Each structure stands twice: as structure tokens, then as C-alpha cells.
Chain A
């Protein structure tokens, strides 16, 4: 019954390695997101996809490459990991946004993936 799931929950790796985080949602939503939450709990959007197409790319280093094989999945691949990449990464999904002037719909967040780069 999990709405938005992420794997793995914890990821510990060495600097310079390449790793992937997977996200799946079973809510039938069109839009999916990746957020990064730093050690001070500041949550910042990284990417947003709508129906497998990239909508938002928030000046994230190109070592980060999202991939959406279908609208229920949005994976995040990170190349050449750096110490500063250590954070909790959250996937989220939402229904299509209403027309301009309406409130954005609820974003449903996954449980997060804690990435530690040593």
C-alpha cells in the first residue's frame, strides 16, 4: 500500500563512486520530483518530471542525472560522488497542477534515502 517508495533507505559509499537511488509511486500521478535535504533540514527541489519529461532542473551539477523510464518511476543516478553530496534525498509525486491561479496539489513524499559519502 506504500504510495511513494524509495530504495535504498540508507546508502554509504566512498567518494568518487557512482550510485543510484530508485523511486516508484503507485498513485497514478503524472509529476514526480527529487528533493535534497541537508544536515540543517533545509529541503530544496532538484528536479521535476511530468509524464517522463524534465520540467524543472534547479542548477544541479550534471553529475546528477534523473531518469524516468515511465511515469511511475523516477530514478536518480549520481556520478563521482563528493562529500558534499551527503544528505537525505526525497522523491515526491503529485497530480497534475491546476490551471494558473489555483493552489498546487499535495506533494506526496517518499521516506527518503540517507546518503553518506565517506
Chain B
């Protein structure tokens, strides 16, 4: 069974701080996606990474796919209260089915 473990599970920080969320697996994925989910809503895609070692930037968010395509990280610079939410990584297996990670709940206080 493919599993994606995210750490930390919970993160509470002050506005302006930097943070990194990790997504790890013992399985290789063909690609990896990051989603953000706000309370009462469905997840919304932030980014897809495909190539091992790939780095993508989305404003203050930096995403990296591990060289071996087994792990990924999300780094947020100067976090803002609007970044608050549940962050989910999701790996695509060889049938393109998405396996979701265990989730990281981020709270950014003003």
C-alpha cells in the first residue's frame, strides 16, 4: 500500500515567519501535486511537479520534488494569515490515481 506521510501534522506560526512542510513516502510516484483546503470547501490544486529534483515557485510558495520522486517539500516564505488551511500532497501512481498525504494543518496568526 502506498502511503504519503506529511510532517508536521499541525503548525501554528506568527505572520512573517517561514515554514516548510514535508511529504514523504517509500514509494515512487510519477508526479506529485500539492493542494490547499479551507474549512467547508474542497481541496484546490496549487502545483504539480513531475520531474525528480524539480523546483516550482508560486509567489511566496516554493515546491520541490525529490530526486528519487519519493518525497516533496513545500516552503512558505513570510507566511500570511491568508495562508491558513490544510495542505495536502498527493502522489499519482502508475494508473494516475491520486494517493493523498496525511495532511498538514497550518494556522498563521496576525
Contact = CB atoms under 8 A, between A and B. Distances in A.
Chains A and B come from one and the same complex: yes
B98 A42 contact: no
Nearest to A33: B98
Interface string A38-71: 0011111100100000001000000000000000
Contacts of A110: 42
B40 A112 contact: yes
B45 A104 contact: no
Contact of B92 (A4, A104, A111): A104
A101 B30 CA distance: 7
A44 B50 CA distance: 22
Contacts, number: 53
Interface size class on chain B is 20 to 34
Contacts of B100: 42-44
Contacts of A56: 95, 97
Contacts of A111: 40-42
Nearest to B86: A41
Interface of B: 30-31, 33, 37, 40-45, 48, 50, 86, 88, 92, 94-98, 100, 102-103, 105
